[in-house]
Amino acid sequence: MKKFILAFLAVFSLAQFSNAQERYFTREGNVNFFSATPVENIDADNKKLQSVVDLASGAFEFAALIKSFEFEKALMEEHFNENYMESNTHPKATFRGKIENLDDLKAKGYPSDAIAKAKGTMTIHGVDKEVELPAHLVKDGENYKVTCKFTVNPEDYKIAIPNAVRDKIAKEIEVSVDAVLNPMK
């Protein structure tokens, strides 16, 4: 009986260790959005993106505080937070989903360079929308570098843009996510 308990504890400890090695996170990722129009380009960075991926289950999440976006022009930043994103009411944007092709990635032994297809719920401005995101994963030592590019249509998230400035904001905003995820310990 004593050997059984010791064996169980050893297996349980090993399972906990391996599970921890399959979870990766960051609190310092970067998310950028870019709006290009003939009238004006809008470019903003947020270097405080938080993200977690669990390669055992495929769970994938990221969150960005809206007020952490920085603009070249202070007035743009003010309008973005107060008039469009209403960041006091809707303080963050999130994605929660799963890696859809996880079994394929596992079968290939988590290749050092792979495309993960994440499917889940994007929440922006208090509105949830089902989306699919391609994420490029590159193994770098014990870390994973994640890059992801997608577009967001402000109308899909009930972000009202007045007619007076409609020509200054693209109908689709380009979003880029870039993060180095470290093993959770």
Residue whose C-alpha is closest to residue 142's, from 182, 89, 91: 182
pLDDT over 90 for what percent of the chain? Answer: 71
CATH architecture of 24-183: Beta Barrel (2.40)
Mean pLDDT value across residues 37-57: 94
**For residue 164, what pLDDT band results from cuts at 50, 70 and 90?**
confident
Which residues, in sequence order, are bridge partners of residue 30?
A: 178
| Range with lowest mean pLDDT among 10-19, 27-36, 83-92, 136-145 | 10-19
Q: What is the pTM of this model?
A: 0.83
Residue whose C-alpha is closest to residue 140's, from 117, 110, 185: 110
Name the residue ranges covered by the structural domains of the chain. 24-183
**For residue 66, what pLDDT band results from cuts at 50, 70 and 90?**
very high
Residue 166 to residue 97: CA distance in whole angstroms: 32
What pLDDT is recorded for position 166?
83
